[in-house]
Structure 1
Amino acid sequence: MVSRKKWSYAAFVCLFLVMIALVGCSSSGSSTENSGDTSDGDSTFDGQTVKVQLIGDFNMDDATDPITGATNKGLKVVKEEFERLHPGAKVEFIIMPWEGYVEKTQAMLTSGEADVYQMPGVADFAPQGVLEPLQTYIDGDDDFSLDVFIDNQVEGWKALGPDDEELQIYGLPFLGDARFITYDKQLFDEWGVEYLSDYPTMEEVMEKAKQMTGTNPVSGEQNYGIWFRGDWSSAFTLVNLAEGQNGSWGEGFAWDEVKFSFDSPEMLKGLEWLLEMKDYAPNGIVSNQGNEAWLTEQNNNAIMLNQGPGDLVKQAYAQGLEDRIGIAQEFKNAEGQGGLFAGSPITIAKNSKVKDLAWEWIKFATSDYVQEYLFEERGLIPSVKSALEFDSVKETEQLMGPIFEALSTPMTPRYPWGSSQPRFILTSEVEAALTGQRTAEEALDRAQKESTDWVESR
């Protein structure tokens, strides 16, 4: 017969071993912290593969950052984490360059090549009936909330499907983006000019640009008061100038309701302002030249209009120029809104055969794990409020603070023509005015007529 003492000891040992086993199982399972895990290791999707299309310079493998020289982790870490959280499921990435992405995305949607799409042109694709509406998934998922996103980001990506009477959610914010005004504090100091206010007016920008065009009194080098891109983004620059006067591009969202105001008094004043500002800019703005020294010690442009984050933060900190860069907001209307709503949402293809797994990917892609990866490894801007607490964001708060503010105050919803022919019509006419081919009034009259004709014949 086993003594009570020996039995108690044996029971204790057995209990201890059971506890170790339980702890081991817990630690080898999925962690929910900062990973967007809502499945708790669920094997519901065993054998399924979700194909995800991404646009840009993503890499599967680790690569050396050309700006910082550091090694950036490839998408393989994202793939491994998603598959860890969803045992038996697989994710495959289809990466395409920005060049020609609209046409390529259209072809992929038609052939059913992917399940999830990075979709900056959601307003153009949703009306075709090729995207899955997401409200049902949102309503049916107790572990998901739209409150995680930065203000106005969800609203800005709403679109109209073929049978919708009101804007609906077809995509959720994935990559944040914004436009703002940047300036070189060192040049302002050398010229003895006060820094731009946080919300400058057109008059303030013009006056300060005038003061800093000429021979720098300290360096003796030629300086220019302003730089702006006179080609690709000029339509958006012009529309923002109208917004700063409480004007707009027009109204409507569905194509049969769109009415342009490209020839409005506010647009005319804005284009005339750009034509005058050209006198304080370097040659070559219509061909995207004259800003080659920006974000270097030799920079010679004081103010930069309609700037996006791009590599701004990464490059400024890599070169130790973060204290030299100032950020002001774009021109805002009386309600505090103005500027291009930019970035990329993610969507589910209507013809996807793994929609539930695709929804799991969308939740994962908007989790802290992926959003932090995008910022730290790719230099891309997060779309979630929690990013304000990322250590990497706090370390760059001097620049990221005003960038996040710009993310929350653009015009929403997004310009419905932002990826369509009217954008290119207006851009072409702004270029014509900047190169002296037409007066501002002639250019805007043509833009108004051609854009209206395009919509009516669509």
Structure 2
Amino acid sequence: MKKRIVALLMVLCMCTGLAACAGKQDEKKSEKSSGDEIVVSIATLNNPIVSNLVKLAQEYYDEKGVKLDFAVLPENDLREKATLEASTGGTTYDIYFTGPYEANFWITYGWAENLQPYLDKMTEEQKESLDLDDIFPSMLDSLSDPETGDVYALPFFGEASFFMYNKELLDNAGVTMPENPTWDDIYDIAAAVDDEAAGITGMTMRGAPGWGMSGAPFVTMINAMGGKFYDMDWNATVETDEQRAAWEMYKNILRDAGQDDIITYTYNECISLMNSGKCGIWYDATSNGPNLEAEDSLIKGKVGYAPAPSGWLWNWGMNINPNSADEKKQAAFDFMVWACSKDYVNLSLEKDPSGASTPSGVRASTYELDAYKDLPYAQPTLDALSDLDFNNPCKDEVPYVGLQYIAIPEFQEAGDKMTEALAAYVTDEITLDEALATTQKAFEQAAEEGGYKK
């Protein structure tokens, strides 16, 4: 399995021109700038909360002899480059931002540094600031070795998912959001709010292909409608009535009441549209709530939050490249402790009282702070996190775990193929039958190549 993935990534490396980085590995291994300054290179994503980390780190992180070099990448690019680097022993980056899906097999393949030795020798000041006992167990466990309990990444922010809606636009359309909406409810509300003549979009969701892009909301929609990807014998179950209903619902919402240029939308475009005050509903991560309540948001104070019929669970954590030089590893760990600490939470709230810069969904103490607990999205986020069952994602029993993804290495390829078929179906390039057949084949192949099907 590992050989197959590495071979695939090597081909990708040559095709994208990234293989040139391999020739720089020795140079990067011992890279220091003048005056023995250690340069810590960090591969991160262009998410608002992380972008604020970059800004605050450049202004407030002051570790003598250490320089931080951030590479801020679109999420799909980050996944591609991080996986390529990790699987080929690259040293372009010393810290990767990754999530539980990557942790699931990066730990097995030795692509991430075991942080336990670093945690064990922290200073008392670091121990107090990081306070591992304050981190929600589900967030820390998802980045740890399930057999030994050793931690391989520190969670920076976590998220579930919920509906965010513009109360003013719903009122104008004469509709009300139920306390526990179904997807049928959401379609009806979005259709009522949508007003092309007035430039009002009924609902926005991620439409850009990628298992972590459009795949995130779409898979939870499949779960909510009783769909699944495999039965208990690892037979693919895509061509079913339940899956068909989810595919049709996703298309109907976005075609009848969604954004223009559906398949170009990542969460960044969704944020912009929702923040413009011209969109009724957005289904996405709870970590986006703070951005809608930021001081520069046109809909600050106008947003309501409702639970998803079936949500997702994720966090973005930081892990250390095991191929980096030892002095860079320690410098990287020290930065990670600072960024993932209670002190950083307090700093982010001090600089931005709206909470838009504050890492959410990771620490219990964050939701006890007077400056945070009464923010409009705080309690809905806690509720969304508490309602999830990572180990039982579907209505029927299934042989896998994971909510918006299946926790097997092969899902990355199968999930990408699924979302490519989804985009083609939404834009009428292929029929639903063709999209389902393509996806069925992709998941059958994943089960066979992974050796799950007996």
TM-score using structure 2 length = 0.68
Q: Which residue of 1 aligns with 2:221?
A: 241
Offset, 1:169: 3.7
Does the 8 A contact of 2:115 with 2:152 survive in 1?
A: yes
Offset, 1:239: 0.9
Letter in 2 for 1:133: N
Picking from 130, 142, 155, the partner of 1:156 is: 142
1:265-414 alignment runs, 5 A limit: 265-277=241-253, 278-288=255-265, 293-297=273-277, 299=278, 301-307=279-285, 309-310=287-288, 313=291, 316-319=294-297, 321-332=299-310, 338-339=311-312, 341-352=313-324, 353-354=326-327, 359-374=333-348, 376=351, 379-382=357-360, 383-390=362-369, 392-394=371-373, 397-410=375-388, 412=390, 414=402
Q: Which residue of 2 aligns with 1:131?
A: 112
Offset, 1:117: 3.1
Please give the secondary structure, in 1, of the residue aligned with 2:256. Answer: helix
Deviations 1:214-254 (A, max 9, x none): 48xxxx836443232332332222211122235444489xx
Offset, 1:77: 4.5
- Distance in 2 (CA, whole Å) between partners of 1:374 and 1:261 is 45
Letter in 1 for 2:251: L
Deviations 1:99-149 (A, max 9, x none): 432344356552445554322333353332122234566578794754311
- Distance in 2 (CA, whole Å) between partners of 1:115 and 1:422 is 29
Change beyond 3 A, Cα 1:105–1:281: closer
Unmatched 5+ residue regions in structure 2?
1-35, 391-400
Letter in 1 for 2:215: A
Offset, 1:276: 2.7
Does the 8 A contact of 1:58 with 1:74 survive in 2?
A: no
399-408 or 321-330, which moves further after superposition? Answer: 399-408
**RMSD between superposed Cα atoms in Å:** 4.0
Does the 8 A contact of 2:229 with 2:443 survive in 1?
A: no
1:182-261 alignment runs, 5 A limit: 182-197=164-179, 199-214=180-195, 221=198, 223-232=200-209, 233-250=213-230, 261=237
- Distance in 2 (CA, whole Å) between partners of 1:385 and 1:235 is 29
Letter in 1 for 2:338: F
Deviations 1:3-46 (A, max 9, x none): xxxxxxxxxxxxxxxxxxxxxxxxxxxxxxxxxxxxxxxxxxxx
- Distance in 2 (CA, whole Å) between partners of 1:145 and 1:282 is 42
1:157-176 alignment runs, 5 A limit: 157-158=143-144, 169-176=151-158
1:94-133 alignment runs, 5 A limit: 94-99=69-74, 100-106=77-83, 109=86, 110-113=89-92, 115-120=94-99, 121-133=102-114
Change beyond 3 A, Cα 1:102–1:241: closer
Q: Rg larger in 1 or in 2? A: 1
Q: Which residue of 2 aligns with 1:69?
A: none
Does the 8 A contact of 2:293 with 2:301 survive in 1?
A: no
Number of positions where the alignment pairs a residue of Structure 1 with one of Structure 2: 373
More helix by share: 2
Letter in 1 for 2:175: V
Change beyond 3 A, Cα 1:48–1:262: farther
Q: Which residue of 1 aligns with 2:24?
A: none
Does the 8 A contact of 2:276 with 2:298 survive in 1?
A: no
127-136 or 375-384, which moves further after superposition? Answer: 375-384
- Distance in 1 (CA, whole Å) between partners of 2:56 and 2:228 is 41
TM-score using structure 1 length = 0.67
Change beyond 3 A, Cα 1:451–1:209: same
- Distance in 1 (CA, whole Å) between partners of 2:94 and 2:297 is 40
Does the 8 A contact of 2:229 with 2:237 survive in 1?
A: yes
Does the 8 A contact of 1:49 with 1:92 survive in 2?
A: yes
Change beyond 3 A, Cα 1:329–1:249: farther
Picking from 418, 437, 441, the partner of 1:426 is: 418
Q: Identity across aligned pairs (percent)?
A: 20
1:51 aligns with 2:40: yes
